[in-house]
Structure 1
């Protein structure tokens, strides 16, 4: 919904503006223009409570109008319903298009957009209308200290200076900045780069084997640089070599975690908005049952820091889908409130007053009710595997039940899916049944009719059953699920926990699945010991639990009949 209106300045509140610095001289010029001509271009707002509005874009115009005309002035505005994420994106894009926005302000807002894109920098670049290089450079500024960012916003240093400072650990940036600003004249970016290259890569922070660095000519050793007082000696002056070894070490650490989590990301400066700890309890908790389910989600995992000062740090148990996480938290809060509402109306104290419900801890009494509602996003490898299992189950059911076969065959024709009946598969089946050899499985209609007519009734009956079954591999997943659901096929009759499935899962997915089907409880204290081993040993242990009823235990990730 979008409406155009004139709204009193006093009924409008500042919003989530990515612009934090308003240049005084530019504001004076804008105020003079507003005093002379008024506000000509509408600001963008979104409705809030009690007839008030929040600015999405246009705060400079609103500030100028408020100062010149006061709260009663009616400013032109576009009113649009936007959530927080949409408002952030609209505000950033509007400010970028108007230019003169501080790069640090762009960086902070772009980091939020990146979070909405689940860390996908290419998608964030597309939404912002930036090149990938521009986005990467802006996000790198997120590693700048507050003083460095403020100096850039106030234009005491140039963008290039800030980009170079971003590569220095935060605990050293302020000292380097002070040295930079204390010089008689501000060095050019090229000059500053040359100075920084001597001290920007501390060997003490290296996460790779430094054996070769001891005697390397690029080890600064006791060399003195302009900023030697601010930063201790022992730095690599060969940036390409240092960075290359660092990336190799990060990749190796990522590979070492591949069996533990569905997703492992190397997180770089500016991607802090993509890091969200998965919690069951507390204000940002999703609830116990949902948290268990989330551990099997494709968006659950760990991050490895590539941020200077935190290189190689591993941050486990993260959710990389902030939007989904927010919905799960909101659902848990709503469920708790709904359950508490009747208690507020009926529970009375001895004095006859309503009892006050206890404050929620995020560990809800509603947990038993939320178990069946827990939802996750499965990995693509699991989706591909279960689709193969579902198709195989349908083929078996149709080949074994003539009535269901006929029903599905007619249903396929009526729904436009008869085209998925495979002539090649039927031809191969015919050859196998009749023990005949054919140079090709492409038959003319009269030739096919003659072959079928010459076959006995048993052969024709098997071919008839194969008509619908042959379509199982071709129909779309949505259609497949519809048929499986209609036939009420019990997947437990066609599949049970096996090595092939377990090897598709990471350790976190395995743990969530075992908890779901009761295998974790059945193993007792031996479960933790098994999970600490190698993947092959884990699989072997899980498939050899005495007295555990594997038959019929179909985990959620394999089922087709779930919401």
Structure 2
């Protein structure tokens, strides 16, 4: 065993002591003892390359000696050669074996040892003389926020508090800690609060594979600590809610192949939807229900409500006012006297086969027409504008006639200034004047006759882009625009509609007949596969066929 020697206290530099908190009362007693009796037990130091020495174990004695006698005090030391790993291990072990080191301080020190062992926890436990379970439970405290660890260091809270806090996010811990300290809540009180804040994993609608080993899974906490909330809970509400929202969106996305409208319903959406039924007190009638299938307000709902989270309700009407009117119309028609020879009405409750009530997962009804959704309307209007521009082309006589008509009907304001200025710049290779009439007139004068003609054409093109839809419809009808020259079935359109509506399209264009027996097999596949099949029917002529929903 090495014999102790003395070193000037000021020549001993601090080490990496895992202990951060020193009890003031006990330190005061030690300082008084050292003042009268000096240091009896030497501290452990290691030599450094620059000739100085670093403290490894004995910081309480060093602090007491410095307070009692100053930096010139001859400090008894044992000098031992050791590397960084040995120094840190000895410092931690020495503190654990001595006076009540806080578990949080042990956790920080143990984490450093694991780092020195290159992540090998078994070797770290062996070095510390701990069981693997003890090591893991201490390291789990590193899930605590800095303020919680500090509170445990200073004995402001108990180990049970910290173990409970460790299951929650650091933000949650920092919000709750001041309340616990100020109001003096015990471990049992904190446990009740955290149990109320946790989310049930059994009720989760998302894939819980990643939750098994998560630090916020209360089951993992129960295995690790003496104090934990009941198993089967997630203590990270933000993560839980984010995963729930992603699953709701994924469920909704999967329904959009079948329905034009899919909504996630939230608390407060009670009166924004109603189950579409043909008969019963709230039935619209069999014939009307078929017509409703093509409406853009017909679709499916995904529940975002706590008591039915993730449930799917198909066959929903999202225009409750319209639904009430249809129900009222059906009731009035039933009260009207029937002809003596009339058979039981097809829409009566005796013969109707429409589904009753909200049934999650009910089969999607077949569409009878392509819904004029906002997306389809936008596609249709864009087609009209593009086709009209191309059909007029460079027919300057027609261009002048249409421009005169546009101005005469008060539609000159519809000329899209931004579009026209862009065309000016492209045709004349110069930016048009912003506000100077003279400059604009000179620019137009300097343009070649061909460029002037092109500018007039550009003016009409920009007007076509700017007029409202009713006026555009008038122009298309007057011009007798032939859409068959400018449209044939494409992916862009099919992406806008449901698989059920694609069957309507296939019937209208004659694709179902051309596909024969393959038609049913194709529609058993995914929407992208159905689209690909509809656009690649062998020997089918797609030209000259325009859907009714696209006509003006």
TM-score normalised over the length of structure 1:
0.48
| Greater relative CO (CA pairs within 8 A, separation 6+) | 1
Bigger Rg, structure 1 or 2 = 2
